[in-house]
Amino acid sequence: MDSPDKFLEDYVYNLSKTTIEKSQPLWDLHLLNLRTSQSEAVGIFRIHHSLGDGTSLLSLLLACTRQMNDSKALPTIPIRKKKDKKSDRIGIWRILLRFWFVLQVFWNTVVDVFMFIATALFLTDTQNPLKGLPGSESTPRRIVYRTVSLDDIKFVKNAMNTTINDVAFGMTQAGLSRYINRICSVNKKDGGATETNNLPKSIRLRSNLLVNIRPAPGIQALADMMEKDAEVKWGNWIGYVLLPFTIAVREDPLDYVRNAKAIIDRKKRSLEAFCTFYIADWALNLFGIKAASALSHKVISRTTMCFSNMVGPVEEIGFCGHPMAFLAPSSYGQPYALMINFQSYIDKMTIVLSVDEGTIPNPHQLCDDIVESLQIIKDAVLTRGLA
């Protein structure tokens, strides 16, 4: 066919118009014998979110795959290394630092939980070109994706002494700022220029960051999750973190990453994810599923978007003997007009956008803005000789 990538995009779009029949298991698999620009064929898993969160479902998928260079070996997932303790001696300064850290965690948690409750009651994001209208959970979704080099992200990470999450968040802030500024430029009849600052003076734009609260981070072995008394359990074990996005036109592109690092570092010193999870669990046990659903809907509908980042295999894997070219997880059915997910795989990072076209009519432009922002940030690192 003339445009297989467009056919694939439209196929997924039409899938999002339908739901899975309750009379059958809540998942289905669509196999398209379709050669696209990135693959020889496409497999689309559609799984109801009630069966598990992203960690559970990706663990299930990876349990069905094997390494291409070893047909019996399961995929390898990178594990964060624990820092070695420098000394067992506890001096006065170390005691003071620990006390200051505990105080920060306590204060940040109180503030974050207050903001979560305020959002559930009344606090909403300001209207912006990315915020969906009421009822957007029922609209079909256009799911678009781009693949960038994971080495480029690691290059920026190493040069700026940050993390991959910081760089992903920073380039997303930069891309959203470019996109919104372009929309505001068109509205002001400025011809769509992105160099001039046409943004409103104040924008409250927050994302729900989905955080895995299991004691062991990252993707888990499926057999371990299925054990009856397993420490790392199957299901939906995610907490919400309200992540503020700074929408601004900056002269120095690296400021997007610096700002992202400051925000994420502050969120790391908070127990917000655990508290929001247990607030929802408390509402479910005390008032029932309808009250818990209403609480979740209010928080989600009063923020602008959803953001997540998941780590994937570090070597090429195969599904039923067929090598996989990329992974592109996403979701639909939530009251968002925009969901952004980063998924790593070998030396690639796939950026997946799930978009309500009624709110964001040009999702490809938005996706390109995020990808181009990474290149601009990388060029800035090279220009300043930070590498």
φ and ψ at residue 290, rounded to 5 degrees: -70, -40
CA distance 39 to 216: 33
d(CA 278, CA 251): 42
Bridge partners (DSSP) of residue 239 are 211
Q: How large is the greatest C-alpha to C-alpha distance in the chain, in angstroms?
A: 71
| CA separation for the pair 317, 304 (Å, rounded) | 35
- Look at phi and psi of residue 378 and say left if phi exceeds 0, alpha if psi is from -120 to 50, else beta: alpha
In degrees rounded to 5, what are phi and psi of residue 228? -60, -45
Q: Of residues 49, 297, 322, 364, which has the active-site annotation?
A: 49
DSSP annotation of 70 reads: B
Residue 49 a catalytic site member: yes
Per the CB < 8 A criterion, the answer to whether 246 and 207 are in contact is: no
DSSP secondary structure string for all residues of 109-152: HHHHHHHHHHHHHT--PPP-TTPPPTTGGGS--EEEEEEEEHHH
Six token digits for residue 242: 């309200």
3-state secondary structure of 208: strand
- Cβ atoms of 237 and 360 closer than 8 Å: no
Residue 153: name the closest of 377, 386, 382 by CA.
Answer: 377
Which residues are within 8 A (CB) of 207 and not within 5 positions of it... i.e. 6 or more apart?
242, 243, 245, 303, 304, 305, 306, 307, 340
Q: Of 169, 186, 144, 54, give the one whose Cα is nearest residue 356.
A: 144
Q: Which residues are the active-site residues?
A: 49
